[in-house]
Structure 1
Amino acid sequence: MKKIRLKKKQKNNLTILLLLLSVLALIFAAYQGKEEAKQPEETFLQDQTTLDFIRTIGPTAQEIAAANDLYASVMIAQAVLESDSGQSTLSQAPNFNFFGIKGDYLGQSVSMPTLEDDGKGNMYQIDADFRSYGSQRESLQDYAQLLQKDIYRNVRRSYAHSYQEATTALTGTYATDTAYGEKLNHIIEAYGLTIYDRF
């Protein structure tokens, strides 16, 4: 009799254990489903190419921004947006033009097609001369010098009390794209670029 009772008790314990494991498996599966649902959004917001580009230019941008009364977060976001995270032809060697700055740099330029906004959200293509630099640092430094012009006064930290004010000031001055500031804000938020504004 003792042996039979023991077996029944063991069966009951085993049944309870299996039930507990099933409940835990269901909880784990539900948690995994939620995590997987988050994955595509995170992938959309951040990609490895952009992260690598930010890591490459971030420290130099932070240093140059601090010396020139600028938000490094805005500088980096512009570089990401204008250069397609360093993937555009214009942003690669030998040009290193991360910001789509037109004209020439120490007599060096390159002609490239570009899209312009007519001020009403309609895009059209033109060919333009863009500055060509010898290094990444020269590109970042020249950008900082460009933003010392009076037209960009409201982009500087002395006048813009937040990066959002700075990006608003760039819209319609630096770029004709009417959504320019919103695009920069999205990049700054998605990649946590405000960390570079801490001097």
Structure 2
Amino acid sequence: MRKRKKGRGLLALTLITLGLGFFAYQTLTTQQGDYTITTEDSFVQNIAPDAQAIASQYGLYASVMIAQALLESQRGTSRLAQPPHHNLFGIKGTYQGQSANFLTAEDDGSGQTYEIHDQFRSYPSYYSSLTDYAQVLSQPIYAGTWKANTTSYQDATLALTGTYATDSNYNHKLNQLIEQYQLTRYDW
């Protein structure tokens, strides 16, 4: 039996080796309160309600939003995704004057990667990260991700490749996560 660790605003991280790999246990803070992530499936289940509501409000695919959160945050376990930064999407810049400097890998467009240090937005909560992500995707450069301009999530993930991310295989990675976790069930 696994014990869940709880604590408001406190990060409890324990890595357990289970033959197949590692599972992270951590407490996440959202606008609605704290919840504990025990597996990748739990991560999806915990962010899905907010992602669904926000995606619906902004005319986006919740499946794409959740897949990007999985990919960009290393399934909620990256240092940037964890408190105090709560950045689920690797969004660069500042948020309400808050940022954090991290090393990041960039793709030159031909599949070759290189590393740079850059500023990433730091959020007060995961809800803020999800909402800001939707606001970023509301910009005209991302019009190809909007439900009104697409026929499927595949169109949206393709539109993110080379615009949102420099990774030339970004859409394939997102599509794989959407299929693996059956994320289209969150698209209204």
For 2:61, the aligned partner's letter is Y
Q: Which residue of 1 aligns with 2:48?
A: 58
For 2:93, the aligned partner's letter is G
Structure 1 unaligned regions, length at least 5: 1-42
In 1, distance between residues paired with 2:84 and 2:39? Answer: 20
1:1-199 equivalences in 2 (<5 Å): 49-198=39-188
Look up the SS of the partner of 1:174 in the other structure.
coil
Look up the SS of the partner of 2:116 in the other structure.
strand
In 1, distance between residues paired with 2:40 and 2:181? Answer: 9
In 2, distance between residues paired with 1:91 and 1:74? Answer: 17
Deviation at 1:50, TM superposition (A): 1.2
What TM-score, normalized to structure 1? 0.75
* Higher helix residue share: 1
For 1:73, the aligned partner's letter is S
Larger Rg: 1
What TM-score, normalized to structure 2? 0.80
Give the % identical residues: 54
Deviation at 1:49, TM superposition (A): 2.1
Root mean square deviation, CA, Å: 1.4
In 2, distance between residues paired with 1:183 and 1:87? Answer: 18
Q: Which residue of 2 aligns with 1:36?
A: none
Deviations 1:48-90 (A, max 9, x none): 6211110110110000000000000000000000000000000
Which consecutive aligned stretches of 4+ in structure 1 deviate over 2 angstroms post-superposition?
none
In 1, distance between residues paired with 2:60 and 2:93? Answer: 22
Structure 2 unaligned regions, length at least 5: 1-19, 25-37
Look up the SS of the partner of 1:76 in the other structure.
helix
For 1:123, the aligned partner's letter is T
* Higher strand residue share: 2
Deviations 1:140-188 (A, max 9, x none): 0000000010100010000011000000000000000000000000000
